[in-house]
Amino acid sequence: MAYLPPWSPPLAAVELPVQPALLPQTINLISALLILLVGWIVAGLAQRLVRSLLRRTRVDEMITSAVVPTDGKGEPLFRLDRTLAALTFWVILILAVVAALNRLDLTAASEPLNAFLNQIFGFLPQLGAAAVLAAAGWIVASLARTVVLRVTRQFQLDDKLFESDAADATPGLVVSETLANVLYWLVLLFFLPLVLNALNLGSQLQPLLNLVNDFMAALPRIAKAVAIGAVGWFIARTVRLLVSNLLSATGVDKVGQEFGLDPAQPGQSVSALSGTVVFVLILIPAATAALDALEMPAIAGPAVAMLERTLNALPQIFTAAVILGAGVVIGRFIGQLVTRLLSGIGFDRVVQWLGVVEAADAAAAAPAAAENGSAATSRRTPSEIIGVLALGAVVLFAAVAASNVLDLPALTEIISGLLLLFGQILSGLLVFAVGLYLANLAAQLIRSSGTHQAQLLAQIARVAILTFSGAMALQQIGVATTIVTLAFGLTLGSIAVAAAVAFGLGGREVAGEQLRAWLKGTGQS
C-alpha cells in the first residue's frame, strides 16, 4: 500500500494567535516614526521660512556686513541666513527625536538630549537679551556714524581743513570718515560689557571687561587731549597761513632768491619757512598740554620732557640761525668787496706774475677744442677765488659763534680745527706762491745773463727754489713736518755729496797738478 502524507488545511484556514502585548509597541513604533516624519517636515519648512524671512527683510545682509569678516574676494566667510536656518532645522529635528524616543519609552537615550535641549532653551532668554542689546548697540552706532558723516559733509569739514594749502593735505586722509568710524566703534565698545553680562560671561571675561572699563574711564582724558591737540593744530595752521601770506605779500621771497631759495618750489621760500617755524612754535606747547591732559606719566613724561627741552632750546637755535644768516650776509658782502678790490689793483694777472699763464691757457684750450668751437667753460678769476675764500672764512667764524651759542663743544672744536687748517693751507699756498715767483724771477735773470749753459743753470735754480719753497709750504701747512724736514735735508745732502763726488772724479788731473805745484813751491823754499 502506498504511503500518503497527512493532510494539512489550507493557509487561509490557519488561525495565528495574536499577542496583546505587541499591539501597543507596534502602535508606539508607528507613532514614533510619524513623529520623526512630521518633525523632519516641520524642520524643513521652518528652515525655509527663517531663511526666506531673513532674506526678505535683509537683516542678514546688514548684520553680515557689520560683523562677519570677509575673504580676499570681499565675500563673507559665512552667511547668517544659512546658519540660522540650519540651527532652526536641527533644533526642531532634535525635538522630534526626543519626542519619538519618549514615545518609545527610551528614557536612557532621550535624557541626554532633553538635558541638552533644556540648556539650549534655558540659554535662549540670555541669548535673546544679548542679541537685543547687540542689535541696539549696532543701531545706535550706525545712527551715530551716519549723523557724524552727514554733519561733517554738510559743513564741508574736510575741504575747510585742507583748503588753500596743498602741501598740508594728506592724500587719502578723510577727517569726516575717521571721526565717524571712531565714534561707531566707541559705541559698540560701550555696549560690549552689557552684552557679555547678559550672557553671564562676566567672570570668564573679567580681564577683558577690566580693560574695557579702564579704556572707558580714560575716554574723557583722551577726548580732552585730542581736543587740545586739535585746537592747537588748527590755531598753528591758521597762524602759519597768515604769516606765510603776509610775508609773501611784502616781497620777502625775493630776498631769499639771492640765497638760493626757489619760491616756485613748495616750502622753499622765506615766507613758507617762516610760517613753518611759527607752526612748530605753536604746536609744541599744544602737544605738551595734550600729553599732560592724558595724566599718564609713564607715557607722557618722557615726551613732555623732550618737548620742553626742545622749546627751551628754541631761543638758542634761533640765535644761532640769526648768527649764521648774518655771517652769510656779511661774508657775501666781504667776498664781493675783496673781489672788486683785488680786481681793481690787477690781481687777476697774478698767474702771469707766477709764470703759470701758459699752463692755464693750455688747460683751457683742451675742452674748447673738444667742443668744436663751442663756448669755453667759464672759469673764476683769481680775485673771485679769493672772494669765495673770504666768504668761507667769515661763514666758518659765524659757525664757531653759532656752535658756542648752542653749547656744542664738540662741534665748536671741529669747526675751530677747520679754521686752523684753512689758515695753514692759505699760508702754505702764499709761501709757495712767493717761492714760485722768486724761482721764475731767478730763472729769467740767469737766462738773460747770457752765460754758458744759462738754460741749464736757470732750470736748476728754478727747481732748487721750488723745492725749498715747497718744503717750507708743507711745514707751514703742518703736513708731517718731521718727515718733510728729514726728506729735504737728505735731498740737499745727497745733491751735495753727488756734486762733490762728481767734482772729485772729474777733476783728478787738475787737482794733481795743483798739488804738485804746491809741493814744488815748498821744496824750493
What residue spans define the domains of the chain?
211-295, 427-500
**Is the backbone of residue 480 left (phi > 0), alpha (psi -120 to 50) or beta?**
left
For the CA atoms of 91, 92, 96, 97, the dihedral, rounded to the nearest 10 degrees, stands at -20
Average pLDDT, the chain: 73
> How do the residues of the chain divide into helix, strand and coil, expressed in percent and rounded to 5?
80, 0, 20
Closest by Cα among 5, 137, 124 to 66: 137
Confidence of residue 14 (pLDDT cuts 50, 70, 90): very low
For the CA atoms of 320, 326, 328, 332, the dihedral, rounded to the nearest 10 degrees, stands at -170
Question: Which three cell numbers, joined as nine digits, stand for 92?
Answer: 526642531
Task: Give the model's pLDDT for residue 370.
Answer: 45
| Cβ contact 221:294 at 8 Å | yes
3-class SS at 122? Answer: helix
| Cβ contact 298:314 at 8 Å | no
What percentage of the chain reaches a pLDDT higher than 70? 67
What does the pLDDT average to over 131-154?
83
For the CA atoms of 495, 500, 504, 510, the dihedral, rounded to the nearest 10 degrees, stands at 110
Q: Which residue is associated with the grid cell 592724558?
A: 294
Angle at 67 between CA 66 and CA 69, to 5 degrees: 105
For residue 513, CA distances in Å to 7, 188, 369, 499, 522 come to 185, 124, 62, 21, 14
What does the pLDDT average to over 328-357?
76
What residues contact residue 347 under an 8 Å CB cut-off, 6+ apart? 382, 383, 386
- Which helix (H) or strand (E) covers residue 151, if one does? helix 107-154
What does the pLDDT average to over 286-302?
77
70 strand-pairing partners: 76
DSSP 373: S
pLDDT in tens, 252-273: 767 666 666 666 666 667 777 8
99 strand-pairing partners: none
User: What's the rounded Cα separation, in Å, for the pair 496 and 502?
Assistant: 10
User: What's the rounded Cα separation, in Å, for the pair 52 and 484?
Assistant: 102
**What φ, ψ does residue 70 adopt, rounded to 5°?**
-115, 165
**N residues, the chain:** 525
pLDDT in tens, 351-399: 666 655 544 454 444 444 444 444 444 577 778 888 888 888 888 888 8
